[in-house]
Structure 1
């Protein structure tokens, strides 16, 4: 799969003015006004005035507060607009020529990770790029799940996707749903909420008598254990994002790599590639 463009929704503002938005983010981070003010080089009194609408923050202070609160780039634009300032961060389509270097770098990264699986997803888990390791794992998945814009959560949890092949499905499903819950709390996206409700509603096969127990396994992290060509392959997932992004599209991309969790998995993938 090659890097492709995807549409993104604009998050709705929670309340009017920058004050309520700042207060909501501060409470979400469980910081007092004094703690946040000290981190941002301001005063608790001034921050109180901002949150209650009695004072308008400067653009510089607003961005500094957003940085200390780890507000996503998309939501920083919402803060700026609420305070009467122009948005600071563009949202460049992924197929724009301005991002040619980014796309080329991602393609090289994914190819370089082969034969191990790796993919790139956006904030809605739409797959925008993947390498041959991912295509190997998805062999046999129906075309309706692979096009026009495959979604990583659907591909993994749909009963016609990878789910029947995942040997520790209940554990892995719980991990993915918890990850989505954290993302929903962070991004406040209606599209992400709808996706969560969809995949959480997929049926989970009952445990069969004599099935392999889903108990703690001797790995340093929870593995994805998936059946492929009569073998059980074990992977540890690692997710990377871009540091200090200045564009919404770039900020919402994530590179997920599947590291072989044991020697047998690594040897099998190398043999397939060879």
Structure 2
């Protein structure tokens, strides 16, 4: 007997959020029309859609610049975070000595240190990547460390009884056990890399043809072009959702055949 579409979990994961989003857009449109809200305060969804269509090429070009910084920062955060996590789990002394500094990077606002980084690093792109990396780094470190330490004690004792070396225990037990936590860190870090890139662009204030979406938002604000500002925000939000979905997809194809967290 076939399962009705409305009871299909895979279908509902798409349909339910789409219906909620459609309801919110219709409500937004109706309220703006009913109360005659000026476009320079809150534009209607149709105004934003029109702006996305007319200004699409310039906004997508700016998005490409922001994505370049995002992906470079995300890649650096993954590499540095994994290396730091492996270093931390080698010794409790190392973790106790260095982990507070990783927390320090997380709690320090990027807007406070970005001006210094931009002054110290002459290349604007490298400076922006460095700022975004600092924002995206901590979830990779913390989740990977947690995963590497969250090993089943029984399995760990079994490895020791069979004379497994430290390397064999790491590769065959600790790393597989850490993968669900690692992918959870990727989901968080990917969005933070995008946020870090946009914030760094705001602080840098870079303009011209090579500017990212942050410059488009600032320019729209100065010109009181609110539909264009909303259009840029929509692109940033959709990009963040796509990045999260991509990380979720990677987790699914990597873990679905053996870990319960991704089994249907």
- TM-score after normalising by structure 2: 0.24
Task: Give the helix-richer structure, 1 or 2.
Answer: 2
- TM-score after normalising by structure 1: 0.24
